[in-house]
């Protein structure tokens, strides 16, 4: 199915798609499906012989804000114009998608994916993948049918940018341009107070135990409640405690009974571990970890837990106040690499807040932890904690490889830094040192790895399978989906030439007894400017269904599952 182009007008105007209803019909007829057939069941029968189930066609897009980025230029060489790194064409859209294959009837609920969807204001292009304004995409599954849609999150940062056509808040690598020296001084004052920090919640989305759905980023003010059905922005998630601070882990641990997070302390280097009970907005301190070394705490984008412990990572990639003050980004942005400060892993008891182990480990860099569990002896006593992550071989260049310019200008060279499943072993015998090794041969997944998920029933427990994005080289970004078997130390890989898939998200089949009994959902930015939702069988890792969007999908980050009520 070819992608549909939309007319471009001014940034603040509204437009309708240039394609007429008949154009949509002709397009689907070319793809072997006539939406004008009155008897849909006959159409389904006709296509079942080819292995396809046709549920419906995409509805014409709603009136929407015009694109703020020029259309892809198909004449560009290489991957310069890949849709994964372009802004979404309109502010919002919703429609029913034509499904090729078959969606399991037990799959009832909505998959939400958050991520940057707009990397452009006026004539200005953002610098980094993590700068883009947040966009939610939904896949709503019901009785084998699929309703899809997207919408920009209406943060204060986004609304101010749309109104003024310029950057108004500090993003990951972006700083508002000061008109004069006094405005620069004022902006610095706002930085220290947190007023100038973005609330652009473009990283993750979680469903709390009480049903509220919250989009998150690393600034505490960037916690925004949304409606999972309409994708409307409902308002700020205001923390009612007095813990203060400006930043937190972008990835909290959320279960039916608790919400756990880490708050880095930039003044007295360390971390607060906090818990928030279901139905409340109040975080309570579990305990504190003081940094073992270094001028500031290490970056804590994510962290793992076991049944009884919180694992607090202390990376040598540490926050840097000096870099935060600069108007132009350094190669490591708001961080500094301090290998002399070494690397550590700390284990805190959830119940008491006591530190039960702190060990030095080999230098590492990770954005995302996969899972952790407790290793026990024959008598059931915990002897160590095992923690797995997507580890980038202590190579800091991964951050700069995610600059939008680098992603857009790919010309076929193999420039993606290597990555592996890094497995930490943190002993409980009083040792000062822990281990960090590859959990399986990195060649199994192309020596590329990030954006991971597991069966949530195995959170904090011994587990076998993980799902992530891997690499088929040469590449400049993870371009496969991989199922990792940590027992047999093997991986199964899915690849679509030229496509960029986002995080594979596992949804277990109700009543399943096997760890990998379920489906894996991903959204894929295609090589020809299209985008599609993809379903893989969690066990065989074979494709069971896909559904094309009527427009290209930019790359996205993390998601969550909202079951049907």
Annotated binding site for Fe cation: 251, 301, 368, 558
Cβ atoms < 10 Å from Cβ of 122 = 12
294 torsion bin: left (phi>0), alpha (psi -120 to 50), beta (else): left
Sign of CA dihedral 185, 186, 192, 195: negative
CA dihedral sign, ordered 25, 31, 34, 39: negative
DSSP state of 405: H
* 230 three-state secondary structure: coil
Looking up tokens 């002897």 gives: 383
Q: What does each C-alpha distance from 230 to 138, 143, 325, 392, 454 come to in angstroms?
A: 9, 19, 38, 37, 27
- 369-406 burial string, b = 16+ CB within 10 Å, else e? bbbbbbeeeeeeebebbbbbbbbbbbebebbbbbbbeb
What tokens appear for 247 in the block? Answer: 């930043």
Cα–Cα distance between 458 and 487 in angstroms, integer?
Answer: 15
Query: What CA–CA distances, in Å, run from 375 to 358, 362, 380?
Result: 16, 20, 9
Rounded Cα distance, 46 and 156, in Å:
50
CA nearest to 111, candidates 274, 228, 191: 228
- Antiparallel, parallel or unpaired: β 283-290 and 270-276: antiparallel
The two tokens of residue 295 are: 């001028």
CA 398 to CA 130: how far, in whole Å?
Answer: 13
CA dist., res. 250 & res. 512, Å (int): 30
Q: Looking at beta carbons, which pairs linking 491-496 to residues 24 or more positions away fall under 8 Å?
A: 491/440, 491/444, 491/445, 492/541, 493/445, 493/446, 493/541, 494/536, 494/541, 494/543, 496/524, 496/526, 496/527
Q: Which residues are annotated as a binding site?
A: 251, 301, 368, 558
- The torsion of the CA quartet 246, 250, 254, 259, rounded to 10 degrees, works out to -10
Task: For 460-501, give the DSSP string.
Answer: TS---EEEEEE--SS-SS--EEEEEETTTTEEEEEE-TT-EE
Assigned token pair, 353: 């807040």
In 3-state terms the chain splits into helix, strand, coil percentages (rounded to 5) of: 15, 35, 50
Length of the chain: 565
Instruction: From 214, 107, 93, 226, select the one nearest 148 (Cα to Cα).
Output: 93
């Amino acid at each position: 199915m070819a992608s549909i182009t939309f007319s471009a007008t001014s940034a603040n105007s509204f437009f309708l798609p240039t394609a007429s209803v008949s154009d949509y019909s002709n397009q689907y007829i070319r793809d072997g499906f006539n939406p004008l057939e009155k008897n849909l069941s006959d159409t389904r029968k006709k296509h079942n012989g080819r292995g396809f189930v046709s549920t419906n066609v995409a509805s014409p897009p709603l009136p929407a804000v015009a694109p703020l980025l020029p259309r892809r230029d198909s004449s560009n060489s290489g991957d310069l114009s890949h849709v994964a790194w372009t802004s979404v064409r309109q502010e919002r859209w919703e429609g029913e998608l034509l499904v090729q294959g078959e969606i399991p009837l037990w799959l009832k609920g909505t998959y939400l994916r958050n991520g940057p969807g707009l990397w452009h204001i006026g004539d200005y292009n953002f610098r980094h993948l993590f700068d883009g304004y947040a966009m939610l995409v939904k896949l709503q599954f019901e009785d084998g049918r699929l309703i899809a849609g997207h919408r920009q999150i209406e943060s204060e940062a986004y609304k101010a940018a749309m109104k003024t056509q310029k950057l108004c808040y500090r993003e990951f690598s972006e700083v508002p341009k000061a008109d004069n020296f006094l405005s620069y001084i004022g902006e610095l004052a706002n930085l220290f107070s947190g007023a100038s920090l973005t609330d652009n919640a473009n990283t993750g989305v979680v469903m709390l135990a009480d049903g509220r759905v919250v989009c998150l980023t690393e600034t505490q003010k960037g916690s925004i409640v949304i409606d999972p059905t309409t994708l409307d922005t409902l308002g700020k998630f205001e923390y009612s405690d007095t813990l203060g601070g400006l930043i937190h882990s972008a990835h909290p641990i959320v279960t039916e009974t608790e919400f756990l997070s880490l708050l880095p302390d930039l003044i007295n280097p360390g971390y607060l571990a906090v818990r928030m009970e279901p139905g409340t907005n109040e975080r309570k301190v579990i305990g504190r970890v003081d940094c073992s070394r270094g001028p500031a705490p290490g970056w804590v984008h994510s962290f793992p837990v076991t049944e009884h412990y919180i694992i607090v990572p202390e990376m040598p990639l540490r926050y840097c106040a000096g870099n935060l003050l600069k108007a132009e980004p350094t190669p490591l942005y708001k961080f500094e690499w301090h290998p002399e400060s070494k690397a550590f892993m700390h284990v805190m008891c959830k119940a008491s807040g006591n530190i039960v182990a702190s060990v030095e480990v080999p230098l590492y860099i990770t954005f995302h932890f996969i899972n952790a569990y407790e290793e026990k002896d024959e008598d059931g006593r915990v002897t160590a904690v095992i923690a797995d992550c997507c580890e980038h071989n202590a190579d800091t260049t991964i951050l700069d490889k995610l600059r939008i310019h680098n992603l857009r200008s790919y010309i076929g060279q193999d420039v993606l830094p290597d990555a592996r499943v890094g497995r930490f072993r943190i002993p409980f015998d009083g040792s000062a040192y822990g281990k960090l090794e590859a959990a399986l041969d990195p060649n199994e997944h192309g020596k590329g790895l990030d954006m991971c998920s597991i069966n949530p029933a195995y959170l904090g427990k011994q587990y076998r399978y993980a799902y992530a994005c891997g690499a088929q080289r040469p590449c400049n970004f993870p371009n496969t989906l991989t199922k990792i078997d940590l027992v047999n130390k093997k991986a199964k890989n899915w690849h679509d030439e030229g496509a960029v898939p986002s995080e594979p998200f596992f949804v277990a089949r109700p009543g399943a007894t096997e760890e990998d009994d379920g489906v894996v959902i991903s959204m894929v930015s295609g090589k020809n400017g299209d985008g599609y939702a993809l379903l893989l069988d969690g066990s065989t890792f074979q494709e069971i269904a896909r559904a094309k969007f009527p427009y290209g999908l930019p790359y996205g980050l993390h998601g969550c599952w909202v079951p049907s009520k």
